[in-house]
Amino acid sequence: MLKKTVRWGADVGCQSKIKPLDLKADMSEFGLKGKLAEGELGFNRALTKRDAKKDAEDAIPASDAITQDQWSEREQQIAERAESVRRGLTTWLSTTAAGIRNFIHDCTPIDIYPDQLREAIKSEENEYRHYELDDVSEAKQSHSAAIVELQQFRARHGDRIGDRTPDIKKNVEQTVAILVFIMLLEGGFNALLFKDAQASGLLGGLMIAFAVSAVNVCFGVITGFFGMRYALNHPHMAMKIIGGVVMAVGLTSGILLNFFVAHFRDAVETGLIAATAAGTMGDFSMFHIAPGDVIAGMFPNIIGLHSFIALGLLFMGLTVFGLAVYEGYDRISDRYPGYGRVWRKERKAYERRQQVRNDVRDDLSDYFTQCRMWFETQLSRHVSAKREIEKALNELEARRDIAMAIAAKAADQERSLKVAYRQAHRRARNQLRDKLGEQAACPAYFDEIVTPQLPPFDYAKERDQANAAIKAIDQNLKALNMTREWLEQHIQQVQKGLSSIDKKVGEEIEKVREGKSAGKAFVSVDEARRA
């Protein structure tokens, strides 16, 4: 059972990857476009003075004007333009602050408690252990049954097999591969010898040769496995007799088969010479040679062969037959009938048991790897979150400084334009005093230049939120490092425990396999089951 992520890590720490702060920096969205975003109000001083002189001639604003709506149009434009800058900057900073508060909130991790985290890690670890419990139990029971069967076999036949392990040098697949190889080798050699003796040439020779070779190998294997093994080693007399019969029949059949093939090839050679002399080579076929005539020609001088090719064919056939007998007797399984079978059964059951245990080990290893990855990811995310929060506060302070500089520039221009307007207006109005009469006096508000400033923008709330987030991050980092250190120690203990179990089980199983326990010739069935 392999999971890609740990379940317990989904509800603590930083839930997602920390991304850099992405705030809208374009002031145009807040009404500050072009030069206005730099604090430039866009009014010309000369034109402002000209407008002031014209307004003075018309006695605008009135001498009793007080409120801004009573000011001259030019003054209102200047004030409104400056106020639009302050309003845009205020909105820009407010939006920035809100975005940073949300960002800090997203970067604030869920608290991590070491004790709870350790329990969660062990709880999910136990799930991995229990997941394959049934398979482990089944594999152990199957192996125990195989061990019992092996011990019972050794107990019954101990006087004949002693305390030796089965002599199984090769597995069945390897033995079959060897037999196929020697069959192909013999078949290929025979095909070359028979290819000129029939119209179908090499292809026909191959078919016949491989068929003969296959029969030869089968006779040898049957003779060795069912004949010699049973005749020489089986504990029951009835099976010994059956084995002896099979061995005798097999040996006789194999030897006669090879002598027949050799004599047949000898007859083919004689037929080829005669056909060549008579000029009837095109009509010659080895199938014209009667097998009965060949068999009759074998006796009484069975080794009387006239062709070196036939002698070579006989030698190779008998060699292959002998190898097949040996493979059947000594290589397919143990020479003692049944011993190799129960031994292999125990080995396969043991391998299955080991595989299941290795699967559990691999699953735990994968799980611990995911745990380590989670810790590394969380440590990285927490450090990144702390860094990004500090950068966000710096960005907030930087934007406030930018806004204050732009507002100060706009305020300076507002004041300068107002001063230029009112000075020019006052001079012109004084010059026109006689003409204006009662409206010759300048409004009282001319005496005081007022330029509103940006609000103080106290970011104590954002700083408190950031400090709380950083504190939570620092606490989590401490908890992560503490729990990660515990995890590494825990992994070592688990691995040590598994290795200890493996060693103990291996020792018990090896003791059972060797059949030695406290000086006993063989271990008991109960000991075998416990293994």
Concatenated DSSP letters of 116-161: HHHHHHHHHHHHHHHHTHHHHHHHHHHHHHHHHHHHHHHHHHHHHH
Cα separation of 354 and 445, whole Å?
98
Residue carrying the six token digits 């000011």: 71
Cα separation of 122 and 375, whole Å?
15
Q: Which residues contact 388 (CB under 8 A, 6 or more apart)?
A: 18, 19, 20, 21, 103, 107
Cα separation of 156 and 339, whole Å?
11
Q: Which two tokens stand for residue 443?
A: 């409004």
Residue carrying the six token digits 């190898």: 323
* Among candidate residues 45, 27, 49, the one with its CA nearest the CA of residue 36: 27
Q: Is 384 helix (H, G, I), strand (E, B) or coil?
A: helix
Cα separation of 195 and 208, whole Å?
10
Q: Largest Cα–Cα distance in the chain?
A: 169
Please give the full DSSP string across 302-322, using - where no structure is assigned: TT----HHHHHHHHHHHHHHH
Q: Which residues contact 261 (CB under 8 A, 6 or more apart)?
A: 190, 212, 313, 314, 317
Cα separation of 283 and 61, whole Å?
140
Dihedral angle sign, alpha carbons of residues 248, 253, 258, 259: positive
CA 147 to each of CA 154, 331, 529: distance values in angstroms, whole numbers, following the listed order = 10, 23, 7
> Does residue 61 have a cis peptide bond before it, meaning omega lies within 30 degrees of 0?
yes
Cα separation of 363 and 5, whole Å?
13
Cα separation of 87 and 31, whole Å?
9
Other CB atoms within 10 A of residue 7 CB: 12
Q: Which two tokens stand for residue 396?
A: 């907030």
Cα separation of 104 and 28, whole Å?
25
Note the pLDDT of residue 294.
65
Ordered per-residue pLDDT tens for the chain, 531 residues:
445 578 888 889 998 999 999 887 788 888 888 888 888 988 999 999 999 899 888 888 888 888 888 888 898 999 999 999 999 999 999 999 999 999 999 999 999 999 999 999 998 888 877 655 556 677 777 877 887 877 788 778 777 776 677 766 545 666 667 767 777 776 666 665 555 555 444 555 567 777 778 888 888 888 988 888 888 878 888 888 988 998 999 898 888 888 887 777 777 666 655 666 666 555 555 555 666 666 666 777 677 676 777 777 778 888 888 888 888 887 777 777 877 788 888 888 888 877 877 887 888 888 999 999 999 999 999 999 999 999 999 999 999 999 999 999 999 998 999 899 899 988 988 888 878 777 788 888 888 887 777 777 788 899 999 999 999 999 999 999 999 999 999 999 988 877 776 676 666 666 665 654 444 445 554 555 555
* Among candidate residues 71, 7, 86, 65, the one with its CA nearest the CA of residue 451: 86
Q: How many CA atoms lie within 13 A of 193 on its CB side?
A: 29
Residue carrying the six token digits 């500089």: 405
